[in-house]
Chain A
Amino acid sequence: MPAAAAPAPAAPVLRLSLEQYRVIVAHCLDGLPDEACGMLTGPMVGGEPTGEVGGVHPCRNADASARNYTVEPRDLLRAMRTADAAGHEIVGVWHSHTHTAAYPSPTDVRQAVDPAWIYVLVSLRHGEPALRAYRIRDEVITELGVAVA
């Protein structure tokens, strides 16, 4: 596994409320044995997420697979509309890895769609879910801080 680059000075810290954290992890557990996914919405300043999260939106995995996910486009559209109504934007996406680490796979890196987004990985391979956040830009993975309060 390649080492994550040290966080750039401007890298945001993902700030989740305890409730948001629980929604994400519960959705990942509910999705078993398949991977689960969802969207994060919040403010962007100058095209970059601030790390603040206004909403977490569980989505269906259109692939219904333990190895891949595709966010169901209708659910993505709903998240975009909700974000727009709040003056927010899509700031990231989360998905689970059921049997591997909370680290972007080569597939995740190759398919990373937006360099501004925060990519949240939830590993369920051990009893206790592990949640970590990254930025994926030009195929370079940068780990971001996560604060849950």
Chain B
Amino acid sequence: MAATVILPTLLRAHADGASSVEAEGATVGEVFQGLIARYPGMAANLIGEDGELHRFVNVYRNDDDIRYLEQLGTPVSDGDEIAILPAVAGGAG
């Protein structure tokens, strides 16, 4: 299955400046493994030490947060859009 992966600005440097890339995989996890094989610099920003999605990253399959689907096991269909979003947060505390 070929999906379009939308990259946040922080990850574009690892993909020669591209704002999105095509990647293959039956699940979001497989798509990410393919991405990391091509762009090893992304690994640390995508997957945490526990092998799960990095906690400072949100991933949407089309319009749905994969945390509320099947996380990295979320299935991917041809033409899906996988968006990688940084967790943008802060505050006076």
Query: A interface vs B, CB < 8 Å?
Result: 35, 37, 39, 44, 47, 63, 65, 67-71, 73-74, 76-77, 80-81, 84, 89-90, 93, 95, 97-100, 104-108, 111-114, 116-117
Contact = CB atoms under 8 A, between A and B. Distances in A.
Interface residues of B, number: 23
B9 A89 contact: yes
A63 B93 contact: no
A68 B88 contact: no
Interface of B, helix, strand, loop or mixed by DSSP: mixed
A141 to B, nearest CB: 12
B89 A68 contact: yes
A73 B53 CA distance: 15
B93 A95 contact: no
Nearest to A77: B83
B92 A80 contact: no
Interface of B: 6, 8-10, 13, 17, 19-20, 56, 58, 60, 63, 65, 83, 85-93
A73 B60 contact: yes
B9 A70 contact: no
A113 B86 contact: yes
Most buried by A among B9, B20, B85: B9
